[in-house]
Amino acid sequence: MRDSDGGSPNNRNYHNSPNLLSNPLTRGGQGRRRTVTPMGDRLGRMRIVSLAGGIGGARFLRGLRAAAPDADITVIVNTGDDITLFGLRVCPDLDTVMYTLGGGINEEQGWGREKETHVVKEELAAYGVEPQWFGLGDRDFATHIVRSQMLAAGYPLSQVTEALCTRWQPGVRLLPMSDDRCETHVVITEEPGGGVEADTDGSKADVRVQGSTEPTNKRRRRAIHFQEWWVRLRASVPAESFALIGIDTARPAPGVLEAIAEADVVLLPPSNPVVSIGTILQVPGIRDALLAKTVVGVSPIIGGAPVRGMADACLTAIGVETSAQAVLELYGADLLDGWLVAPEDAGVALEGVRVAARPLLMHDVDAAAAIARAALDLALDLAR
Amino acid sequence: MRDSDGGSPNNRNYHNSPNLLSNPLTRGGQGRRRTVTPMGDRLGRMRIVSLAGGIGGARFLRGLRAAAPDADITVIVNTGDDITLFGLRVCPDLDTVMYTLGGGINEEQGWGREKETHVVKEELAAYGVEPQWFGLGDRDFATHIVRSQMLAAGYPLSQVTEALCTRWQPGVRLLPMSDDRCETHVVITEEPGGGVEADTDGSKADVRVQGSTEPTNKRRRRAIHFQEWWVRLRASVPAESFALIGIDTARPAPGVLEAIAEADVVLLPPSNPVVSIGTILQVPGIRDALLAKTVVGVSPIIGGAPVRGMADACLTAIGVETSAQAVLELYGADLLDGWLVAPEDAGVALEGVRVAARPLLMHDVDAAAAIARAALDLALDLAR
């Protein structure tokens, strides 16, 4: 437990509020600008900012924390995947990072809580309440109940996240990309018959797109929430485009631009470059702030395939090839200073970006730490 | 499953909505006045209205349903115990009646769900969220989540209750006494030191009254929610009075006055005469409507002690003795036509009220059915 005295400007106390529902506004640590000392704060700690999506980001961060245990790490997390289910606000990426770094993650599936039960979900199904395709466990429900209660009481998501982290002690500072609601929707075309084909539980099933009550005789373009496309349809229906509802007026959450400004280096983990990192970069002000920094990215694509997940479906939707080279170009040389790829992608190149190659599979925490260390070393070398 | 055609004015379809969140407003069965046919509707069914609190009311109603399987039973349930916990709306009495009649009750404790688990509650405690003294199980949480979602969507409690009953099929029509929020608070005096003594888990513990953060040197009068007094303090601190916040402007829920007007008889089960039946009777318009009807009550007091629960603490608070005679006088001869008591209380009397005596312990459904049958017979005899 760190000292809770907020008197020193270098003493950050983001995660030690004694009472979850006490007023976070009265706590220290927020909104103070400090004199920037190159390569570390006054205590000599390196300041790292990382963007993050869900599973890939969370595992990379667990490695980063192990690789740089004394660093001051701020993580800006995608909230475009957030969704309101059963009246409760669910933040999948924030929770995946929080549970992973806090030791409560279901290691096997990479999201949700370990030793999870599903009584509430079964009961909701017994009431006939939709949707039933999103897997919420009982332990996870408690997080959403607390979050929703605090949001309803007027706390912004950034303060709610801080409060939840008093329990999880992730060892990094977690910030939502924005306190403003901003949700990714996916434009798809519904085939005649009103259904879309999806491979559910190994068998082809006719999955009716939510909200469609009548079969239709013509193809119909519709926008559905990202989670419905990702979880329910398993990205099996081609995405024609993504619509980030609310992104134009979204503001970076308090502390986001400050953390970037004070960062010694910025790392982009191997998260989804379109719907995770790409979404964060579209929050007005964030990409611009990053342009001034030393930024190193870790490729989420190895030898033409996503390390994990369905990033290829997202890249295809925006007309980008699924390759380490294409994602490098997508991010661009204005944003990236360094690009860490797998050995099989060692040939990628973009003027103004230094490329380094090493194995990128995060088998375990040690492997993730080695990858994070390599990304950090590249960044520190570039920042020198 | 009853016919869902709402065309016939005598065809009530309160509990067969196919989709919980479909618009209850479009369903049949609400708000139509029918010609009153003495002793039954056009189908010859007897029409019974019963008021009800929690456990005692629920068990009596299960007996009544068995005793009069062909009757049309409408139950007006106390909502003064309702409370918002963790941002979710909890209606203890409605749920106890619904679970009991729907076959989902925990028989041993009389409230809550059978085969219950408590994962969500443990997680909320791990987050440090208060209160932790109210026992909510995972199955029960699902009910509150659905209810809260529908309330937030704008449905009144009466329609929410109807929707929840599509699952439970209680075999009676459940109506909250009011759709307006109306909560019972208890005035207590806090002793010097800021705490009140409560017997928790068998040992004396200093229980700080919620909201009191500083010890105080003087006695202080405070109002706390009924549930805090009842569940947390176990009614161990004397109640000085009850304050029914919102009762003055509360309106009977849709259907309440209509059901009373059309009732052949009205029964008061052995529920708490102060904070259950007494609360319902204080909703403006309900008591007046009952005065025109044949009303038979079942005494909740046997030989000077409550059949169950802590009704004595409530009676004492309003200056009424804990006896079948005193509760008879509390209800009064203007309201009651008949009063069913236990053999040991056979001597009670009040001018204008016919008293009958029989064993009143509801050991099981058969015993409850025999008691309900006796109350019903008395009422039918009086109504003749």
* Cβ–Cβ < 8 Å for B293, B263: yes
Q: Which of B301, B287, B292 is nearest to B340 (CA)?
A: B301
Q: Is A171 found in the same domain as A307?
A: yes
pLDDT of residue B135: 86
Q: Is residue B235 part of a domain?
A: yes
User: A181 to each of A378, B113, B143, how far by Cα in Å?
Assistant: 35, 36, 27
Q: What is the CATH number of the domain that holds B115?
A: 1.10.8.240
Using the Cβ of B126 and the Cβ atoms of chain A, whether some distance falls under 8 Å is answered with yes
Structure tokens at A169: 């002690």
Which of B95, B98, B138 best probes binding to A when mutated, by most A CB atoms within 10 angstroms? B138
**pLDDT tens across B317-352, in order?**
999 999 999 999 999 999 999 999 999 999 999 999
Q: Is residue B102 part of a domain?
A: yes
d(CA B236, CA B202): 13
Which residue blocks in chain B are alpha helix, DSSP H?
55-67, 92-102, 119-126, 138-152, 157-168, 226-227, 256-262, 277-281, 286-291, 311-317, 324-331, 365-383
pLDDT above 90 covers a percentage of chain B that reads 76
* Cβ–Cβ < 8 Å for A114, A105: yes
Asked if A142 lies within 8 A of B148 by C-beta distance, the reply is no
Chain A residue whose CA is closest to B21: A129
Query: How many other β-carbons are positioned within 10 Å of the β-carbon of residue A379?
Result: 25
Q: Are strands B295-298 and B301-302 parallel, antiparallel or unpaired?
A: unpaired
**pLDDT tens across B347-360, in order?**
999 999 999 999 99
Among partner residues B127, B145, B148, which is closest to A124 by beta-carbon distance?
Answer: B145
| Averaged pLDDT score across all residues of chain B | 86
pLDDT of residue B10: 36
Which of B120, B122, B144, B169 best probes binding to A when mutated, by most A CB atoms within 10 angstroms? B120
Q: Which of B276, B208, B216 is nearest to B237 (CA)?
A: B208
Asked if B123 lies within 8 A of A117 by C-beta distance, the reply is no
φ and ψ of B105, to 5 deg = -75, 150
Using the Cβ of B213 and the Cβ atoms of chain A, whether some distance falls under 8 Å is answered with no
Residue with tokens 């009651």: B336
Q: Is A255 found in the same domain as A208?
A: no
Q: What average pLDDT score do residues B77-87 get?
A: 97
Q: What is the CATH number of the domain that holds A91?
A: 3.40.50.10680
Provide the domain limits for residue B217.
183-245
In total, chain B counts a number of residues equal to: 384
Among partner residues B20, B87, B167, which is closest to A152 by beta-carbon distance?
Answer: B87
* Cβ–Cβ < 8 Å for A348, A341: yes
pLDDT of residue B33: 31
Using the Cβ of A160 and the Cβ atoms of chain B, whether some distance falls under 8 Å is answered with no
Q: Is residue A239 part of a domain?
A: yes
**pLDDT tens across B168-227, in order?**
999 999 999 999 999 999 999 987 765 554 433 333 333 334 444 455 567 889 999 999
Q: Which of B245, B264, B297 is the last residue of a domain?
A: B245
d(CA A105, CA A126): 27
* Cβ–Cβ < 8 Å for A208, A195: yes
A-chain residues near B127 (CB < 8 A): 20, 142-143, 146, 164, 167
Q: Is residue B154 part of a domain?
A: yes
DSSP labels, A202-250: TEEEEEEPTT--S--SS-EEEEEEHHIIIIISTT-SPP-EEEEETGGG-
Task: Give B54's DSSP letter.
Answer: S
Q: Which of A228, A245, A262 is the last residue of a domain?
A: A245
Q: Is the dihedral of CA A20, A24, A27, A30 positive or negative?
A: positive
Q: Is A354 found in the same domain as A286?
A: yes
d(CA A123, CA A127): 6
B-chain residues near A166 (CB < 8 A): 128
Asked if B146 lies within 8 A of A124 by C-beta distance, the reply is yes
Asked if B120 lies within 8 A of A87 by C-beta distance, the reply is no
Which of A129, A130, A139, A143 best probes binding to B when mutated, by most B CB atoms within 10 angstroms? A129
A-chain residues near B210 (CB < 8 A): none
Q: Is residue B116 part of a domain?
A: yes
Chain B residue whose CA is closest to A116: B119
Domain count, chain B: 2
Q: Is residue B191 part of a domain?
A: yes
Q: Is A203 found in the same domain as A91?
A: no
pLDDT of residue A27: 34
Q: Is A289 found in the same domain as A225?
A: no
Tens-binned pLDDT, residue by residue, of chain A (384 aa) = 333 333 333 333 333 333 444 433 333 333 333 334 455 555 568 999 999 999 999 999 999 999 999 999 999 999 999 999 999 999 999 999 999 999 999 999 999 999 999 999 999 999 999 999 998 999 999 999 999 999 999 999 999 999 999 999 999 999 999 999 999 999 999 877 655 544 333 333 333 344 444 555 678 899 999 999 999 899 889 999 999 999 999 999 999 999 999 999 999 999 999 999 999 999 999 999 999 999 999 999 999 888 877 889 999 999 999 999 999 999 999 999 999 999 999 999 999 999 999 999 999 999 999 999 999 999 999 998
B-chain residues near A148 (CB < 8 A): 87
φ and ψ of B287, to 5 deg = -60, -45
Structure tokens at B76: 């007006």
pLDDT of residue A286: 98
Using the Cβ of A86 and the Cβ atoms of chain B, whether some distance falls under 8 Å is answered with yes
Asked if A124 lies within 8 A of B138 by C-beta distance, the reply is no
A-chain residues near B104 (CB < 8 A): none
Q: Is A279 found in the same domain as A227?
A: no
User: A119: left (phi > 0), else alpha (psi -120 to 50), else beta?
Assistant: alpha
Using the Cβ of A166 and the Cβ atoms of chain B, whether some distance falls under 8 Å is answered with yes
Alpha carbon distance, N-terminus to C-terminus of chain B? 34
**pLDDT tens across B88-129, in order?**
999 999 999 999 999 999 999 999 999 999 999 999 999 999
pLDDT of residue A190: 81
Q: Is residue A135 part of a domain?
A: no
Q: Is A195 found in the same domain as A236?
A: yes
Using the Cβ of A138 and the Cβ atoms of chain B, whether some distance falls under 8 Å is answered with yes
Q: Is A259 found in the same domain as A239?
A: no
Structure tokens at A195: 């259904």
Q: Is B118 found in the same domain as B190?
A: no
Q: Is the dihedral of CA B233, B236, B238, B243 positive or negative?
A: positive
d(CA A30, CA A78): 20
User: B261: left (phi > 0), else alpha (psi -120 to 50), else beta?
Assistant: alpha
Q: Is B94 found in the same domain as B165?
A: yes
Q: Is A194 found in the same domain as A78?
A: no
Q: Is B92 found in the same domain as B165?
A: yes
Chain A residue whose CA is closest to B167: A127
Exposure string of A353-368, with b = 16+ CB inside 10 Å and e = fewer, is bbbebbebebeeeeeb
Asked if A88 lies within 8 A of B145 by C-beta distance, the reply is yes
Using the Cβ of A199 and the Cβ atoms of chain B, whether some distance falls under 8 Å is answered with no
Q: Which of B173, B181, B210 is nearest to B61 (CA)?
A: B173
* Cβ–Cβ < 8 Å for B260, B290: yes
Residue B147 pLDDT greater than 70, yes or no: yes
pLDDT of residue B339: 98
Residue B307: pLDDT band (50, 70, 90) is confident
Q: Is residue A8 part of a domain?
A: no
User: B160: left (phi > 0), else alpha (psi -120 to 50), else beta?
Assistant: alpha
